[in-house]
């Protein structure tokens, strides 16, 4: 096989699975006070985490606030395919979650934040029957948010701002025999924007909405076919992470309870066909992903003495059709069960949450027949934050 054809073939295959990691590992929780409620927080948004969930909610903070925490997750995926049974390499992975709110005047609150809306990694052993489709897929993703909330009147607030994103990917797959691989490494920075609103027509009722724009990257880096080609080749691909729109309703029947439901639309239809550009020739890479919805319901109960208990449920639809299924993503209709506990003091507060996710998917009609089979996913996550109000 000529070097040119080998590069084109392997590049198309690895990117079809690797870039998609951004969806399959969309982190389901950006702060434990939200995670504990099944991630239903758009219509509550009453902490500095509103920087991400709904910037309009920042106007509920009387003074200023800073919170620092982390989200950790362990991915467990088992694949039962024609070539045998295989387990994903498991390790605990961490991402930071930092938010702050600063009141500028009676009407306006500035919010700054740092989090990872996407990220993490999957690594399959080099001896799987589908090694030609996926071995390692790693995405490091960080976003710096600069937003503000403005109180139009006592019942209605608006918010918005920008996110500055950095994406760094390392994608690999096998070729013909264990030990060889195609790899692509690239990175880029991009900017997105967000708009939101919070309406509280009565003490017991609150409605929230948030729109986040798409983010356009041109991931530039190097591709390599090892050990068949000695040199790395300049390569790049344009990638768009999708726009999303979420709405929520919060009901407070009394001073102890807060019950909320959210629905979020994610425009993954934008991820249709990508083009890998490199000196050996360009290659069209079809994804054909579909829009998906996320459904969340949760509750918070005031235990007294500053302690808050939370529980919830989160359902995330798969956006990856069978035809383009890939174990590097292992996407599926996934269920998340959550619990949380927090304590609010005069100045210092803390919140913690645990998530358990499960899904079972049978793939029958993938274009790459080596991935057809049964996939069982079991995830565990823990998040913790400490907050100082002043």
- What string of DSSP letters covers 176-240? SSTT-EEEEEEEEEEEEEEEEEEEEEETTEEEEEEEE--EEEEEEEEEEEETT--S-EEEEEEEE
- What percent of the chain is modeled with pLDDT above 70? 93
Structure pTM?
A: 0.91
Residue, of 388 and 28, whose pLDDT is higher:
388
- E strand or H helix at 250, and its extent? strand 244-251
CB 210 within 8 A of CB 195: yes
Please choose, from the candidates 11, 30, 9, 28, the residue with its C-alpha nearest in 3D space to the C-alpha of residue 351.
Answer: 30
Average pLDDT over residues 90-115: 94
Helices (H), the chain: 3-18, 21-24, 32-35, 50-53
Give the three-class secondary structure for 59.
Answer: helix
Q: Residue 163: is its pLDDT beyond 70?
A: yes
Q: Which of 136-140, 273-277, 314-318 has the highest mean pLDDT?
A: 314-318
Please state, in angstroms and rounded to a whole number, the distance separating the CA atoms of residues 74 and 87.
Answer: 13
Q: Residue 11: is its pLDDT beyond 80?
A: no
Q: Which fold has domain 3-389?
A: Porin (2.40.160)
Q: State the pLDDT at residue 91.
A: 79
- CA geometry: angle at 289 spanning 324 and 285, to 5°? 60
What is the number of H-type helices and E-type strands within the chain? 4, 20
Q: CA dist 224 to 97, 182, 366, Å?
A: 34, 6, 26
Please state, in angstroms and rounded to a whole number, the distance separating the CA atoms of residues 112 and 102.
Answer: 9
Question: Domain residues of the chain, as ranges?
Answer: 3-389
In the structure encoding, which two tokens stand for residue 243, read together? Answer: 């726009």
Q: Residue 9: is its pLDDT beyond 50?
A: no
Q: How confident is the model at residue 25 (pLDDT cuts 50, 70, 90)?
A: low
Average pLDDT over residues 291-315: 97
Q: CA dist 213 to 190, 246, 270, 356, Å?
A: 12, 12, 12, 29
Please state, in angstroms and rounded to a whole number, the distance separating the CA atoms of residues 120 and 75.
Answer: 9
Cis-peptide into 314, omega within 30 deg: no
Q: What are phi and psi of 316, to 5 degrees?
A: -115, 120
Residue, of 175 and 207, whose pLDDT is higher:
207
- Mean pLDDT (the chain, rounded): 90
Tens-digit pLDDT profile for residues 306-339: 999 999 999 999 988 888 888 877 889 999 999 9
CA gyration radius for the chain?
22
Tens-digit pLDDT profile for residues 347-366: 999 999 999 999 999 999 98
In the structure encoding, which two tokens stand for residue 205, read together? Answer: 């009722």
Quick one: DSSP state of residue 204? T
Q: State the pLDDT at residue 241.
A: 84
Average pLDDT over residues 10-23: 43
Average pLDDT over residues 201-211: 97
Q: How confident is the model at residue 258 (pLDDT cuts 50, 70, 90)?
A: very high
Beta strands in 104-155 (DSSP E): 108-115, 120-123, 136-151
């Amino acid at each position: 096989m000529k070097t040119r054809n080998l590069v084109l073939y392997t590049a198309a295959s690895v990117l079809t699975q690797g870039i998609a990691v951004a969806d399959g590992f969309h982190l389901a929780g950006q702060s434990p006070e939200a995670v504990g409620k099944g991630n239903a927080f758009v219509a509550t948004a009453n902490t500095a985490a509103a920087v991400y969930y709904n910037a309009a909610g920042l106007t509920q903070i009387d003074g200023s606030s800073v919170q620092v925490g982390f989200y950790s997750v362990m991915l467990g995926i088992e694949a039962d395919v024609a070539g045998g049974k295989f387990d994903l390499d498991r390790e605990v992975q961490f991402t930071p979650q930092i938010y702050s709110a600063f009141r500028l005047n009676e009407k306006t609150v500035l919010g700054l934040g740092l989090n990872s809306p996407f990220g993490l990694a999957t690594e399959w052993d080099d001896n799987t029957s589908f090694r030609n489709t996926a071995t390692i897929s790693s995405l490091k993703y960080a976003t710096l948010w600069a937003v503000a909330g403005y109180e139009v009147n006592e019942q209605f607030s608006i918010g918005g701002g920008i996110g500055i994103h950095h994406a760094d990917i390392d994608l690999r797959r096998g070729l013909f025999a264990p030990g060889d691989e195609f790899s692509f490494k690239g990175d880029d920075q991009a900017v997105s924007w967000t708009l939101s609103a919070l309406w509280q027509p009565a003490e017991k009722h609150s409605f929230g909405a948030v729109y986040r724009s798409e983010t356009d990257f041109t991931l530039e880096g190097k591709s390599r076919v090892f050990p068949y080609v000695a040199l790395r080749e300049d390569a790049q691909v344009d990638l768009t992470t999708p726009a999303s729109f979420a709405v929520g309703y919060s009901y407070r029947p009394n001073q102890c309870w807060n019950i909320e439901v959210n629905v979020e639309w994610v425009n993954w239809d934008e991820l249709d066909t990508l083009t890998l550009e490199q000196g050996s020739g360009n290659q069209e890479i079809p994804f054909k992903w579909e829009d998906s919805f996320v459904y969340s319901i949760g509750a918070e109960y005031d235990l007294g003495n500053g302690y808050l208990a939370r529980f919830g449920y989160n359902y995330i639809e798969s956006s990856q059709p069978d035809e383009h299924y890939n174990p590097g993503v292992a996407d599926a209709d996934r269920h998340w069960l959550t619990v949380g506990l927090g304590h609010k003091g005069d100045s210092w507060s803390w919140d913690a949450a645990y998530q358990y996710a499960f899904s079972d998917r049978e793939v029958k009609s993938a274009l790459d027949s080596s991935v057809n089979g049964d996939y069982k996913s079991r995830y565990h996550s823990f998040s913790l934050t400490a907050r100082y109000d002043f």
